Structures are given as C-alpha cells and as structure tokens.
Amino acid sequence: MPLTLHAAIRLLSDHDLLSKVVRGTGLAQDIPDDPAADVRFSSITYDTRTVGDGSLLVRKGRFRPAYLDGLDERGLAAYVAETGYADHTDAPGLIVHDARKALSLLPSEFYGRPQDELTVIGITGTKGKTTTAYLTHAILNADDPALHAVATVTVPGHMEIATMPDTRTTAIVDYAHNYTSVASLLDFVDGRYGGTRPHVTLVTGAAGNKAIDRRQEIVEAAQHRIDRFVFTAEDTDTEPYEDICNDMMRHVTDPHVDAGIIVDRVEALTAAIGDARRHPERHDIVLVIGKGHERWIKDRNRHGPYEGDDAVVSRLLSEPLE
C-alpha cells in the first residue's frame, strides 16, 4: 500500500502513536475530505535539506524550528513531530507521542515493507552472540552441509593466537569482557602454556557508562594469575577513558602484579608487545581483550576508525624490534 497522508494517519493510530493532526494553529478538520491526502508521498526524510515536492518530513532529536522555514515553497506535503510548528509551516502536522518510533514505522511502509520478504534470525543472550552470528553466517553461506560449516568456521577476534618464535612472544586476541570470559581465557593459557611459566600481560579496558561491575570483575578474574595489567581505552559514550582506567586501577589489590594506564589503545598494545619482545629469555604472553577484530572505537558517543586489535598485534609482531 502506498504511503499517503491517510495511510500514515491510520498506521500511527494503529500503533497508538498519533496524538492529533494539525494544520496551522488548529486541528486539521479537512483532512478526511482532502484529495491530496490520498496522494503518495514522493519521499520520506528526517533531513530538512532533502525536502522536495511531496515530501514527508519526520522531525526527531535536536531540531531548530527555523529549519522548517521555506519548506512550504519547496513542496513539503506533511510533517511528523511531537509538537506542532504552525509558526513555520502550513503543512499538515501529524503530532505523535514518540517521533523515533514513528520513524521506524513510516519508512518501512513507504518502501513497501521489504522486511516481510526477509528471513530474520534473532540472536540474544549474555555470552556467545558474536560467535553464534558468525557460525550462523557460515552455515547459511556454505555449500557443504551445515555441520561441516560449523566444524571449519574461524571466528574473527576470538582466541586468535599470534606467535613470534624467535622472541618467545605469544599474543592472544579475544573478546573477553567479564569475569567468566577472562577466567576461561586464563584457564586456556594455563592449560596450554603453564609448563613454561610464562610472563603474562593483560591489555584491557572496559565499557563506559554501563556494566560498571565488569571493571572489578575483569581485575579480580586476572590479578592473581598474571604479571602485569595495562589499562587502556575501550568503548564509551560520555565517561572519559581515563576515569574508566582509574576505576579499574583501584580494584588492583595484589601487590605482586604490576599495573599501569596507557589510554591510547594502539600505544598500549605497542608498549605491551614491545616489552615482551625485548625479553627473549622468557616466554611472554600478551592477552589483548575486549575489541577483537572491530574496526571502530567509540568515544563521546561517536564511532571512530580503529585498526583492530588483531591487525595491530599482527603488525607489531612483524615489525623490526627497535
């Protein structure tokens, strides 16, 4: 069904989002009989710069009403917002309780509900979501039987081991981020490398603005089993990286473990692996946890480019030792 003004009103009403329909300073009493209300919107947008003849504009987030000035002349057909803007436009306004929810419904209808033609697989849980997603992807895209795909798939960022035999340095990249996963990682290290009595460095951060208890969990899972912590940046919204690292530092109570902060993640990895390579007389294991193969890092609510823990480790192990 094409998305028209009438269709948009019905859709928002069916989802209990529509408060009222306005035109100018009053209720839009003429909408039911207006032939234009059965004309398909030419486009749907939340960016006033892209409004054209017949556009439906959804106002969301931070918004300056002055952005609406001049849109009538450009052909604005209607707008969706949580308040009316009669001082800035004569177009009909669909006033809703939640503009973000409206924005999730209206484009779907405008584009013909393409999700109805998709098979959607939902993955949820506390642990294993990323691994399950990769396994599912491999199964769905494999030419061989599904069980063969499960047996052979490699999951990026999980237990990726890189070695440099001439310096007896081993680096392991993993997504471990809480007590259970860190303890499991260290169990693996003990089982495979314990006989060499390795010097173990853990490069870690923790998420900002959420799951605060995980900071203490990571430290408690590791501090009696490793030789050194390097606390560094992970992902955060508004909480500064330094504050997160300092919070983790205060949970270090074992006097036999070294601990320090290097906020820049690449610099932290460089320092940890460089120190390991400068001690060929011992077996060094550098555990790098939290980011895996992710090619972004979040700071101040923005995702910025990041080389990826796996890529940084691979590069550092291949570079000449200064």
Q: Could you write out the DSSP letters of every residue in 1-14?
A: ----HHHHHHHHHH
Give pLDDT tens digits for 70-112.
999 999 999 999 999 999 999 999 999 999 999 999 999 999 9
Could you tell me if 142 and 247 lie in one domain? no
Could you tell me if 179 and 282 lie in one domain? yes
Given this model, what pLDDT does residue 30 score? 57
- Please give the angle made by the CA atoms of 179, 183 and 188, to the nearest 5 degrees: 155
Count of the separate structural domains present in the chain: 3
Would the pLDDT of 157 be above 80?
Answer: no
Confidence of residue 150 (pLDDT cuts 50, 70, 90): very low
Structure tokens at 222: 């590791």
Write down which residue in 114, 137, 171 finishes a domain: 114
Could you tell me if 150 and 182 lie in one domain? no
Could you tell me if 77 and 101 lie in one domain? yes
Q: What is the mean pLDDT of the chain?
A: 89
Spell out a b/e string for 99-118, using b for 16 or more CB atoms within 10 Å of the CB, else e. beebbebbebbbeeeeeeee
CATH number of the domain within which 164 lies: 3.90.190.20
Give dist(CA 219, CA 285) in Å, integer.
17
Could you tell me if 283 and 173 lie in one domain? yes
Could you tell me if 142 and 179 lie in one domain? no
Give pLDDT tens digits for 182-204.
999 999 999 999 999 999 999 99
Given this model, what pLDDT does residue 148 score? 47
Helical spans, DSSP H, in 15-81: none
Could you tell me if 94 and 134 lie in one domain? no
Looking at residue 181, its amino acid is: S
CATH number of the domain within which 99 lies: 3.40.1390.10
**Lowest mean per-residue pLDDT among 16-30, 230-244, 247-261:** 16-30
Domain range for residue 34?
5-114
Would the pLDDT of 177 be above 70?
Answer: yes
Q: Which of 208, 194, 207, 168 is nearest to 291 (CA)?
A: 207
Given this model, what pLDDT does residue 226 score? 98
Could you tell me if 212 and 314 lie in one domain? yes
Could you tell me if 188 and 236 lie in one domain? yes
Distances (CA, A) of 252 to 222, 255, 257, 311: 10, 8, 8, 29
